[in-house]
Chains A and B, each alone.
Chain A
Amino acid sequence: MLIRIELDGTVRQVPSGISLAAVLAGLPGRRSASGEPRAALCGMGVCFECRVTVDGQPHQRACQLPVREGMVVQRDV
């Protein structure tokens, strides 16, 4: 089943049940303290590299978040 989420202002259809990190697929979600692009590293909620803003809440770990219909995701890059 496909659901719709909004990623950086664009509506995308994604399979339900997958994590937001799986949707991002290595697309950086943020820039580091010195400006490097960063994406998921540990895949299990430990490293905090996959942080994105979700529904206005900053610093959400994409690997711990199942996608939801209508979820609004903003990458900080």
Chain B
Amino acid sequence: MSDLHTEIAIVGAGPAGLAAALAVCEHGRAACLIDDNPKPGGQIWRAGLTAGSRSATNREAWLTNPAIPAELTARLARVEGLRVLPAARVVATQNAGSLLLEDASQARYLHYQKLIVASGARELLLPFPGWTLPGVTGAGGLQALVKQGLDVSGKRIVLAGSGPLLLASAATLRAAGAQVLLIAEQAASRQLAGFVWSLRHWPAKLAQAARLRWALRGVPYRAGSHVLAALGKERLQSVRLQQGQHVRELACDWLGVGFGLVPNTELLQALGCALQDGSAKVDALLQCSQPNVFAVGEACGIGGVDKALLEGRMAGLAAAGQVEAAQALIPARAHQLRFAAQLAHHFSLDPAIRQLADAQTLVCRCEDVRHGDLLAYNNWREAKLQTRCGMGACQGRICGAACATLYGWPVTGSRPPIQPTRLGSLLQLETTEAPSS
């Protein structure tokens, strides 16, 4: 297949990636926007059913997603120099300036001068007894499935975990006709009150929180509550919860549990970019430790859609050579970073959450490695070598964050391919790296 060339490659078509693409192309530079999904919008603006399912090669058709703010879509539809590659994933990096991409039919190189990584975040999914039962999903995971068309009308659903995503997910589920029995937030009511109080500095977010709460009127939202176990034989039947001093059991059809978000940093790590506290380490203009690489949005720190839009714009401007315009946004970004800090502070995990797994609970779901099997090891590398933890299909994307949370092990030593891939795609790599020990 023939190689692709672009000035500025952007990985991820969520809010940060779209904002970056717009800034680049509105300043006369060419961009190539790559996304794993058939439609743009990322997770927060996940395309609903009305958006159509086919991966459109035509940019305007691809942009059709009512969840994306109309003004953004309209401006993106007008710009010149934007090429989109939907349903494509980055499987490897090659030297500086090249990515190996794979889609359903082919693998090919994309050569770039600058790269903006807007790879977003995934949910922090932590082990508890029964969490592998069918019917137990992430909290955002269940929301994503409903947006994909999962029918939950009349279904009894419990959401548990932590963070604003629980409320957003509950609102989607309720609008789809589900019966949301309970939202169990692990943060104490004192923490939640502190968070709401801090929102006075971000009036739009306060208004959004109020709208969500109104949409969820009548749904019990309990602070200081967490899941203890999912119960059932071949499928979820009920959930056991700790609510303050009480333990209760609720029969339900679905249980969505998520404890917050984890930045997707696999591509950044493959590029050799330094991380700090689990997210990309960036300077004031979003540049990573490697030259010509920028990280924006959740990839450089969990902070929500407004931060993502702003950072995407800043990096897009900087990459397009509009450095002064990018610098002018630094104070606005500082305001968003303060919100991110509030989020992390007020939804910090209760130590009890790290104690939910028992010895028999699986931590690595790909290789079926139990909590009891892992206690003997001191770090991620030892655990991988001895137990195969983190060596299955997800490549440690789920259990890596779980082990970091439960055992304090930083995830180290990630290797190509970045995604499970076809052998045929790997054969296109021009040189293979010598295996390190």
Residues of chain A at the chain B interface (Cβ within 8 Å): 15-19, 21-23, 25-28, 32-34, 36-49, 51, 59, 63-64, 66-67
Cβ B135 vs Cβ A41 within 8 A: no
The smallest C-beta distance from A69 to any residue of chain B, in angstroms, reads 12
What are 14 residue pairs bridging A and B, where the CB atoms are less than 8 Å apart in the complex? A16-B53, A19-B149, A28-B234, A32-B366, A33-B366, A33-B367, A38-B132, A38-B365, A41-B137, A41-B398, A43-B138, A44-B140, A48-B392, A66-B38
Q: Lowest 3 A-B CB distances belong to which pairs?
A: A18-B149, A43-B144, A66-B53
Contact with A along B45-59 (1 / 0, CB 8 A): 000010011100000
With A26-B134, A26-B135, A28-B134 known as contacts, the answer to whether A43 contacts B141 (CB < 8 A) is yes
| Total contacts A-B at CB 8 Å | 115
Cβ B149 vs Cβ A15 within 8 A: yes
Cβ A43 vs Cβ B148 within 8 A: yes
Complex CA gap A44/B254 in Å reads 17
Cβ B394 vs Cβ A40 within 8 A: no
Interface of B is mostly: loop
The smallest C-beta distance from A22 to any residue of chain B, in angstroms, reads 4
Q: Within 8 Å CB of B392, what residues of A?
A: 33, 48
Cβ A40 vs Cβ B141 within 8 A: yes
Q: Within 8 Å CB of A43, what residues of B?
A: 137-138, 140-145, 148
Complex CA gap A67/B254 in Å reads 23
The smallest C-beta distance from B40 to any residue of chain A, in angstroms, reads 14
Complex CA gap A33/B367 in Å reads 6
Contact of B368 with A by CB under 8 A: yes
The smallest C-beta distance from B62 to any residue of chain A, in angstroms, reads 14
Q: Within 8 Å CB of A25, what residues of B?
A: 150-151
With A42-B141, A47-B397 known as contacts, the answer to whether A17 contacts B149 (CB < 8 A) is yes
Cβ B148 vs Cβ A22 within 8 A: yes
**Residue of B whose beta carbon sits closest to that of A28:** B134
Q: Within 8 Å CB of A67, what residues of B?
A: 53
**Residue of A whose beta carbon sits closest to that of B120:** A44
Cβ A42 vs Cβ B398 within 8 A: yes
The smallest C-beta distance from B406 to any residue of chain A, in angstroms, reads 17
With A17-B52, A22-B150 known as contacts, the answer to whether A42 contacts B367 (CB < 8 A) is no
Contact of B175 with A by CB under 8 A: no
Considering only residues 94-143 of chain B, those with a C-beta below 8 Å from chain A are 122-123, 125, 132, 134-138, 140-143
Cβ A48 vs Cβ B134 within 8 A: no
**Residue of B whose beta carbon sits closest to that of A66:** B53
Cβ A48 vs Cβ B138 within 8 A: no
Cβ B141 vs Cβ A26 within 8 A: no
Complex CA gap A67/B149 in Å reads 11
